[in-house]
Homo-oligomer: A and B are copies of this chain.
């Protein structure tokens, strides 16, 4: 049989990234960055209306998972999407949401 299987190690490593995305606020952050482009922490905190410490931890997790990258500019730290697959997943959700909207009316 043709071996089209993805290696378990690859799947395990990728699973970690996916698991990080499996969180409502983190998806909100991802969407925010996709819509607004590179943004600093304060703007994200304001947009999501969540505690600063929580957002900072989410950003750090996403960064460690390779989903985001960041740079400092003077006082602010700016985050941006580093993993295009995350946007693929986000677009997949958008498509689904649009479908649900059509069904509802």
Contacts and interface: CB of A to CB of B under 8 A. Distances in A.
A11 B93 contact: yes
A24 B31 contact: no
Contact of A8 (B4, B6, B24, B96): B24
Contacts of A4: 35
Interface of A: 4-8, 10-12, 14-24, 26-28, 31, 35, 85, 88-89, 92-94, 96-97, 100
26 contacts: A4-B35, A5-B35, A6-B31, A6-B94, A6-B97, A8-B28, A10-B97, A11-B27, A11-B28, A12-B24, A14-B96, A15-B21, A15-B23, A15-B26, A15-B27, A16-B22, A18-B22, A18-B89, A19-B22, A19-B23, A20-B22, A21-B22, A85-B93, A88-B88, A89-B89, A89-B92
